[in-house]
Chain A
Amino acid sequence: MTRKVVITGLGATTPIGGDVPTMWNNALKGVSGARTLEDDWVAKYELPVHFAARCSTPALDVLSRVEAKRMDPSTQFGVIAAREAWADSGITEIDQDRLAVAFATGIGGVWTLLDAWDTLKEKGPRRVLPMTVPMLMPNGVAAAVSLDLGARAGAHTPVSACASGTEAMHLGLELIRSGKADVVMCGGAEAAIHPMPLAAFASMQALSRRNDAPERASRPYDTARDGFVMGEGAGALVLEAEEHALARGARIYAELAGTSVTADAYHITAPDPEGLGATRALKAAMFDGRIQPEDVVHVNAHATSTPVGDKPEYTALRAALGTHVDNVAVSATKSQMGHLLGASGAVEAVLTVLAVHERKAPVTINLENQDPEIPLDVVTSARDLPAGNIVALSNSFGFGGHNAVVAIRSV
């Protein structure tokens, strides 16, 4: 008998809200978190992209100065989201040897790494801070969350570019099913709004250059989409063995019914145009959760707003769900908050859990002329989801050909 895994706590800090209630309200309203960057480095380095979607609540408004000093910005966001999710779960007592962490990042401590390099060049090795290594290491966020919670059943850091946050959910589910943990703090964190990653993503033509209208730049499925908008932040979810949650009388949001991870083995960055890897991931997650296409009422799509990325996901959805795809309410929430890279899967999982729990699908903004090659039923104003037993899927795909899917079922 496979252990059933449920979700009992949610946390987030994002460009459209510094906590889950604020984010969710905005996600249903349809707002944009993208803004023109006021930093002097935009002009100094002549960056081709002048905007991004920063967290609406700065980390230093939440953490103490001393606490923040020892964390890379990505870890700061992760710890903020994890604390909210932990408090939300209501867990007060736990066997710490049975509590694990699976907290992902796409890039890790890029601010710390590059600041330290600047310091080395400008001031010499003596001024490179002794906290540099633990702050820049990609496992820094998982380690900080583990320390914060006293989680001793392992602290893991799945890294698969923009699929990382969803892969953390996959790992968390496996840890509980296999009996290695009873509770897992899952999530993803990213803070890469730094001139170097902006230059690098722009160099590969991945970013929108709609500098005159940042709020309209992230437009998944629109014919005028021209790239993604860099976002930042973190999402966190408390996964719990059902019997553990029931024993303590926990509020259960939804079941994490199935997950999957596949690899395209097609190209290092380009998605397989036929979406074969994504199709296998969708089918595998549904098989894992014993889900029929007709059970699925909502998809939180990966949909980053790049010209080449949005369509193969549609192809994969049609291949996995068949004609039922026409009945599924699809939300592309990156239209609102940009692309949080390694955190995106975790934040979108939070939104998907809420969609199932509250039975409402969040909004896709900036869809003015829907690409005729992507005839999905896109949610452009908040929509009620049906009563009864429902399932929602959340997709994430990452450079490297990573595909990850989570399936959330109502309880």
Chain B
Amino acid sequence: MASNEEILAGLAEIVNEETGLAPEAVELDKSFTEDLDIDSISMMTIVVNAEEKFGVRIPDEEVKNLKTVGDAVSFIAGAQA
């Protein structure tokens, strides 16, 4: 079980790997599309990498609800519980 801080740090690493964005730019209130400029293809890659990293399943229909980094952290934390 990862803490929310650990999930955020792990996500930031995945986002950095995919887009080159600095990990510290990946903050809870940031929108993936509006703030981080992540397109749908990169988002799906990030989702699949997060599934592997955190051992969870993020259904395709759930992805559209993950608007901010915080949404993703909460979902992953909930899925791990």
Contact = CB atoms under 8 A, between A and B. Distances in A.
Which of A65, A69, A134 has the most chain B CB atoms closer than 10 A to its own CB? Answer: A69
A173 to B, nearest CB: 35
Contacts of B45: 129-131
Contacts of B48: 126-127, 129
The bracket for how many chain B residues form the interface is 10 to 19
B29 interface: no
A130 B41 contact: yes
Interface in A256-313: none
Contacts of A127: 48, 52
A65 B41 contact: no
Interface string A120-142: 00000011011100100000000
Contact of B19 (A66, A126, A129, A131): A66
B19 A130 contact: no
Contacts of B20: 64-66
B18 A130 contact: no
A126 B51 contact: yes
A246 B10 CA distance: 55
Contacts of A134: 41
- Chain A, interface SS category: helix
B41 A66 contact: no
A339 to B, nearest CB: 34
Interface string B35-71: 0000011001100100110000000000000000000
A182 B41 CA distance: 34
B55 to A, nearest CB: 13
Interface in A118-173: 126-127, 129-131, 134
Contacts of B19: 66
B44 A69 contact: no
Contacts of A126: 48, 51
A123 B45 CA distance: 15
B17 to A, nearest CB: 8
Interface string B9-22: 00000000011100
A72 to B, nearest CB: 15
A127 B45 CA distance: 9
A65 B18 CA distance: 9
Interface string A61-78: 000111001000000000
Contacts of B44: 130
Contacts of B52: 127
Contacts of A66: 18-20
A69 B19 CA distance: 9
7 contacts: A66-B18, A126-B48, A127-B48, A127-B52, A130-B40, A131-B45, A134-B41
Interface of A: 64-66, 69, 126-127, 129-131, 134
Given A64-B20, A129-B45, 17 more contacts: A65-B20, A66-B18, A66-B19, A66-B20, A69-B18, A126-B48, A126-B51, A127-B48, A127-B52, A129-B48, A130-B40, A130-B41, A130-B44, A130-B45, A131-B41, A131-B45, A134-B41
